[in-house]
Amino acid sequence: MTATQPDRHNVASTDGVVLALHHFGGDGSPLLISHATGFHGRTYTQFSSHLSDNYDVWAVDLRGHGATPAPASGDFAWAGMAADVRAAIDFISAQTSASSVHAIGHSMGGASLLKVACETPELFDAIYVFEPIVFPDRSMISERDSVMSRAARNRRADFPSREVVRERYGSRPPLSYLTPEALHAYVEWGFVDTAEGVTLACTPEAEARTFEAIDKMVFADLTDCSVPVMIGAAPATREFSPANMAPGVAEAIPGAVLSVHDELGHFGPLQDPERVAAEALAFFSEI
């Protein structure tokens, strides 16, 4: 399987945001990929290549990420991310005449899929999510996000070249866990050219505000979800992490399936794209 360069479509969402929706193509019914915070749809180019023999693959850049600009309001509430997912599905449906899609989401992108699925289940045939960010209860949201948002604001945004970025990111965790192909794609389309070199497309401030959004889902929001869902995750850790939330997500969604991968971390779909894609495909084939 080889990764292809996608066609880009511009799709109107809410708050004046115009999404970059990438169409990788493939054989079968449509499948949408929804990315993690700080990443973008084309980061999953290698991952998509393991899906395109079975599905017509699309990937969205959510607001403030990749080639999709941030909302002028500066509002990064996750309701807006869900609105982006819904706009992408509406566009795909109009292009393909499919009334529903399969979907794969990672981290924040997985939570965005679940939010739409709980509100509009008829848009989905089935969903696979890897460590979606859904909290046990609302009291935990602000405390956790203060740590993540501080780290995001401290990120270096500007570099002299993409080559320098790849060398830096590839030499230290957590981005060193990505496959070389996934890291290349993240850097290639996750930075924009400047007079001095390159800068992050998803700015440190945009990433921080995404982490700081207080309208994230909690387990109790999932109990009426009627879409078939599988949750992939790394093993639980001693410290609170997305992996620790995964069993609670699976328990909250009626009929959901949990699969724990001992050799993977939070970046599983980008760490072992073939393995995670195969698991999603197997789940979808059973529905």
CA pair distance 281, 195, nearest whole angstrom: 43
227 domain residue, yes or no? yes
| Residue 23, strand partner residues | 7, 58
Residue ranges of E strands in 62-153: 101-106, 124-130
pLDDT band of 146, cuts 50, 70, 90: confident
Q: Is residue 157 part of a domain?
A: no
* 4 closest CA partner among 32, 46, 60: 46
CA-closest candidate to residue 111, choices 242, 282, 270 = 242
| CATH number assigned to the domain comprising residue 20 | 3.40.50.1820
CB–CB of 211/37 below 8 Å?
yes
Residue 156 lies in a domain: no
Please indicate, yes or no, if residue 147 is contained in any of the structural domains: no
91: in domain:
yes
Q: Residue 23 half-sphere exposure, CB side, CA atoms within 13 Å?
A: 17
Using one digit for the tens of pLDDT, what is the confidence trace for 204-232?
999 999 999 999 999 999 999 999 999 99
- The average confidence (pLDDT) of the chain is 96
Contact criterion met (CB below 8 Å) for 123 and 225 = no
64-86: b or e for each residue (b if 16 or more CB lie within 10 Å)?
bbbbbbbbeeeebbbebbbbbbb
Going by pLDDT thresholds of 50, 70 and 90, the confidence category of residue 145 is low
CA 39 to each of CA 49, 253, 282: distance values in angstroms, whole numbers, following the listed order: 18, 26, 26
The reply to whether 164 falls in a domain is no
* Number of neighbouring beta carbons within 10 Å of residue 270: 28
Determine the Cα–Cα distance for residues 190 and 101; give it in Å rounded to an integer. 26
- Residue 194 in any domain: the answer is no
Looking at the DSSP bridge assignments, the partners of residue 56 are 30
Range of the domain at 237: 7-140+216-286
What is the tens place of the pLDDT at every residue in 10-23?
999 999 999 999 99
Structure tokens given for 252: 């909250």
Residue 110, pLDDT above cutoff 60:
yes
Helix (H/G/I), strand (E/B), else coil: 70:
coil
Position 21 in a domain:
yes
Which ranges in 31-105 belong to alpha helices (H)?
Answer: 45-49, 78-96
Residue 173, preceding peptide bond in cis (omega within 30° of 0): no
* Per-residue pLDDT reduced to its tens digit, 56-88: 999 999 999 999 999 999 999 999 999 999 999
Say if CB 276 and CB 269 are below 8 A apart: yes
Structurally, how many domains does the chain consist of? Answer: 1
